[in-house]
Structure 1
Amino acid sequence: MNGVLLPGDFVRESLELHLFFGRIMKEHSIFLEAGFVAKDATFAQQADMFKSQFGEVLHKAVILANGVVSEETLISGESITDKTLRAEQITEELSGISIESVITTEELRLTPNAGVNLSQLEAQVTALNQKAISLTNALVLFKTNILEGMLQCKLFTFNFPLLIIHIRREALFYIHQLERLQRRLVVDFVQEAIEEEKFWNRQMAEHAQFISHLLDPTESDLIAKANNFVGQFDRLEHIAQGGGQGTITLGQLTGETITTTRAFRDFKAAGTEGLLTCKIKSIIIPLLADHVLREANHYLRILNRSKQDLRL
């Protein structure tokens, strides 16, 4: 870290983070709620409460973000895609869980960089960040309790234990990013590139594992492709963690990761469309497919920024 964030950068970076991670946390709550059985209605109600509270965080971020966030972020597909609204509507129909798609509709109308005086929003964004930190800490505790119940065979859910670990890790990463912003710390882009690649290569590998295990056994071609991505991202994560550093530079690693992530993003996009049009057999809820697609888009934006910063 080096230097202090200017008010405008603090506001823009915070709101861009909420547009991505606020929606991710809201959807984690939906996936948790959908996974509980009837006897655990109390757990489902808690998940629904988190869904509503993160919906409020996301909605506030959307309101504040108009004319503030970068065009690069809006066109990246990391917050919403051309499939998000359909995925929400179909998931609501299939699960019976209410999803406030009006937030997505409003977000589709966001415009970038409209000359807003960002310093005037600093106090509101600081308060929103603190609210999100407190709420996400509570969600981490909820996820931890679910995981412990599962591992002790005292709680059943249709979500894998690894998925709970995975989404808990993302919540902790969101908190870490918010706390850095609250301290107004400027990122060291080289160190950030290393940390982001360590984190997201692991997440991408686990996405591929989830896809492989949630597809119907008859979808053998898709399962094989998913398993191939597991191997590719496991290798990239190993290198990012320090394995094989003598044979590849950070720049080369980032370049290879961009190629692999782009291919995985395209695989996810095709899969999401296949699920939305009922052409793929699986137990993947449609919103989960769009969710992991957006995470790949987010990672690609980070990687491309790293590529520019490293002057690859």
Structure 2
Amino acid sequence: MLNHNMANPNPIVTRSLDEIRFWSRIMKEHALFLSLGFTHEQSQLIAEAQQFIDLFERIEEKLSKYSVNTDIRQIQAFNNEVYQAAVAIWSYKRKVLGLTLRCEIRTNNYALLIDHVSREAAYFANRLKDLNEGRLAPEPDTIIQENLFFLRIMADHAKFIGHLLDPSERKLVEQAREFSHDFDQLVFQAIDLDSMRPQSQTEPILDQFLDQNRVSVASLRDFKKTARDLIEACRIKSNIHPLLADHTFREAERFLEIIDLFESHLSNNNR
């Protein structure tokens, strides 16, 4: 969970550990999902994916040795180490995407899914870079851009869910399609708001923007939770791995935490 109070004298340490804890697990799972989508003759790509699973497991093990009281210089060094891992898995994902788009490989991984996971790797790397450069408090343009990133992630999730559900699950497929449409509209709205900067950088507009996103994300989060529980109980038909269902649920929860963080920041600025 994001620490909103940040009692630690150096919040860079707290946030760095939180980002690494969340995103390293996500990166490890991305490697697993890609490997499951490859065909048996793509053994080299599967082996590379396994190397990334092992790499991020080692990062998780090392993470457990640090605490919020760890010296900032140690955390900055750790951030640099994890940054290199995030850049490496980003490069791997872009390589796989290129092979897919050129039809050099045929896999069960959608091209949009490969692009999606590469965007998340880039986001992770950029967060670590920002933290090591001392950038912690969000600026208005950062709020819009970060929401735009996550809104697109949520829209992608809805599309993946809709395509991976069995076609006979008509009601759930339709619900996923509706979420996809709703989040596409929110993405376009965020793009519009971003193009209005700096005029858009007023507290009421940003507050409304965050409130609207919160309602939509909470609704999608609840849908994902229901789908996850049904998949785990084998009560619906789909090609969705139970871990993937939980993975998308956790990312929706993360987005809600980030909205809370931004709203807290705006509220503090108004005092």
When normalised by structure 1's length, the TM-score is 0.77
Please say if residues 36 and 158 of structure 1, whose CA atoms lie closer than 8 Å, have aligned partners that are also in contact: yes
Please say if residues 12 and 136 of structure 2, whose CA atoms lie closer than 8 Å, have aligned partners that are also in contact: no
Please say if residues 262 and 300 of structure 1, whose CA atoms lie closer than 8 Å, have aligned partners that are also in contact: yes
Q: Does 1:306 align with 2:256?
A: no
Shift of 1:306: 1.8
Partner amino acid, structure 2, of 1:262: A
Please say if residues 14 and 125 of structure 1, whose CA atoms lie closer than 8 Å, have aligned partners that are also in contact: yes
Counterparts of 2:155 and 2:138, CA distance in 1: 26
Name the residue aligned to 1:192. 142
Please say if residues 189 and 309 of structure 1, whose CA atoms lie closer than 8 Å, have aligned partners that are also in contact: no
Classify 1:216/1:249 alpha carbon distance in 2 versus 1 (closer, same or farther; 3 Å). Answer: same
Counterparts of 1:19 and 1:279, CA distance in 2: 31
Counterparts of 1:205 and 1:150, CA distance in 2: 22
Residues 243-282 of structure 1 aligned to structure 2 (within 5 Å): 249-282=205-238
Counterparts of 1:281 and 1:9, CA distance in 2: 45
Q: Deviations over 1:6-28 (max 9, x none)?
A: 97211101000011111110111
Name the residue aligned to 2:27. 25
Counterparts of 1:64 and 1:164, CA distance in 2: 32
Please say if residues 137 and 265 of structure 2, whose CA atoms lie closer than 8 Å, have aligned partners that are also in contact: no
Please say if residues 155 and 179 of structure 2, whose CA atoms lie closer than 8 Å, have aligned partners that are also in contact: yes
Shift of 1:127: 2.0
Please say if residues 272 and 286 of structure 1, whose CA atoms lie closer than 8 Å, have aligned partners that are also in contact: yes
Q: Does 1:37 align with 2:44?
A: no
Name the residue aligned to 2:157. 207
Please say if residues 7 and 122 of structure 1, whose CA atoms lie closer than 8 Å, have aligned partners that are also in contact: no
Counterparts of 2:251 and 2:20, CA distance in 1: 13
Counterparts of 2:129 and 2:15, CA distance in 1: 12
Q: Does 1:233 align with 2:152?
A: no
The one of 151, 163, 170 aligned to 1:220: 170
Q: Percent identity?
A: 33
Name the residue aligned to 1:284. 240
Flag the structure with more relative contact order, 1 or 2, with Cα contacts below 8 A and sequence separation at least 6. 1
Segments of 4+ moved more than 3 angstroms: 243-248
Counterparts of 1:265 and 1:56, CA distance in 2: 30
**SS of structure 1 residue aligned to 2:245:** helix
Counterparts of 1:187 and 1:308, CA distance in 2: 11
Name the residue aligned to 1:105. none
The one of 118, 122, 126 aligned to 2:72: 122
Please say if residues 57 and 128 of structure 1, whose CA atoms lie closer than 8 Å, have aligned partners that are also in contact: no
Name the residue aligned to 1:80. none
When normalised by structure 2's length, the TM-score is 0.89
Counterparts of 1:126 and 1:49, CA distance in 2: 24
Shift of 1:40: 0.8
Name the residue aligned to 2:11. 9
Please say if residues 190 and 306 of structure 1, whose CA atoms lie closer than 8 Å, have aligned partners that are also in contact: no
Q: Deviations over 1:130-178 (max 9, x none)?
A: 1111111111111111111111111122110000000000000111110
The one of 63, 66, 90 aligned to 1:61: 63
* Count of aligned residue pairs for this structure pair: 255
Partner amino acid, structure 2, of 1:211: I
Counterparts of 1:237 and 1:146, CA distance in 2: 26
Q: Deviations over 1:206-251 (max 9, x none)?
A: 0000000000001111111111111111111111112596999221
